[in-house]
Amino acid sequence: MNLDSLTDMVSNAVGVLILLLLMTALQSSNPHSDPPLPIEHQSGLLPKFFYIHNNHMQSVDVNAAFANGLLAASEASSEDQLEFQISADFMGQRHDYLTLTMTPLDTDNWPTFENMTQENTRLGKAARSLDSDKDFAFFFVDDKGDGISFKQFEKARQWFLDRGTAVGWIPVTENNPAYLCSWSNISACRYSPSHYGTGG
């Protein structure tokens, strides 16, 4: 190997490194990444709530949930009953007059996405009751790490979008439970038609 060959090799290696640095700089100057979580903002539309747990989903009657919560609170002992049943599908825990967290019950008996697409089912009627000019569908999606609930959410989301209805959602975990706001204070919920970016 002569000196000219060695010089050529070094020059080529330096040139490749410079090219790689330029490409990296160009890519970092215009970064693109999908948001890892929904971004909530105020919306003029009213949320109609649904809960997805694995392959099952259920609609949530906010008025009934708060009515049952108030009834349970009025019947509570002096120690105060922390948890109470708000429906056949949910246990509830009231944190203040306007906020209620929910825990799903007996989810194996809940309907599925296929029930939502049928007009004569309770879930189907709840889904079709949304007025796209006034309401949007808001989903609580159980995040167990296996992606099953999210697959069901994507199908439900697309079904609503095809009907011209906006969709919002938020992942639900043990540390971030599903919570409702009373209709009397709905603007303070900050729920909005938001969702993961493509492939998120």
- When pLDDT is cut at 50, 70 and 90, the band that residue 156 belongs to is very high
What's the pLDDT at 83? 77
Q: Tokens 């043990």 sit at which residue?
A: 174
Please, which residues bridge with residue 52 across strands?
57, 141
Residue 188 is encoded by which pair of tokens? 């303070």
Query: How far, in Å, CA of 126 to CA of 138, rounded?
Result: 12
What's the pLDDT at 162? 94
What's the pLDDT at 182? 75
Q: Report pLDDT digits (tens) over 171-199.
A: 998 888 898 887 776 777 878 887 654 43
**First vs last Cα of the chain: how many Å apart?**
53
CA 199 vs. chain centroid, Å, equals 15
Q: Tokens 């009934």 sit at which residue?
A: 64
3 state SS of 173: coil
Q: Report pLDDT digits (tens) over 20-55.
A: 666 666 555 554 444 556 677 777 888 999 999 999
3 state SS of 82: coil
Position 56 pLDDT exceeds 70: yes
Q: Please count the CA atoms within 13 angstroms of the CA of 87 that sit on its side-chain side.
A: 19
What's the pLDDT at 6? 47
The answer to whether residues 52 and 149 touch, using CB atoms and an 8 Å cutoff, is yes
- For the entire predicted model, the pTM comes to 0.75
Q: Can you list the alpha helix ranges (DSSP code H) found in 109-184?
A: 113-116, 122-128, 148-162
Residue 51: closest CA among 96, 12, 89: 89
Q: Tokens 């490194």 sit at which residue?
A: 17
Provide CB contacts within 8 A for 3, sequence distance 6+. none
What's the pLDDT at 50? 95
Q: Report pLDDT digits (tens) over 109-131.
A: 999 999 888 888 889 999 999 99
Angle at the Cα of 117 (from 58 to 54), degrees rounded to 5?
Answer: 40
Position 133 pLDDT exceeds 80: yes
Q: Report pLDDT digits (tens) over 64-112.
A: 888 887 777 677 654 555 678 888 899 888 777 678 888 999 899 999 9
What's the pLDDT at 200? 38
- When pLDDT is cut at 50, 70 and 90, the band that residue 7 belongs to is low
Q: Is 57 left (phi over 0), alpha (psi -120 to 50) or beta?
A: beta
Q: Where are the domains of the chain?
A: 1-30, 46-189
Q: Can you list the alpha helix ranges (DSSP code H) found in 2-41?
A: 3-28
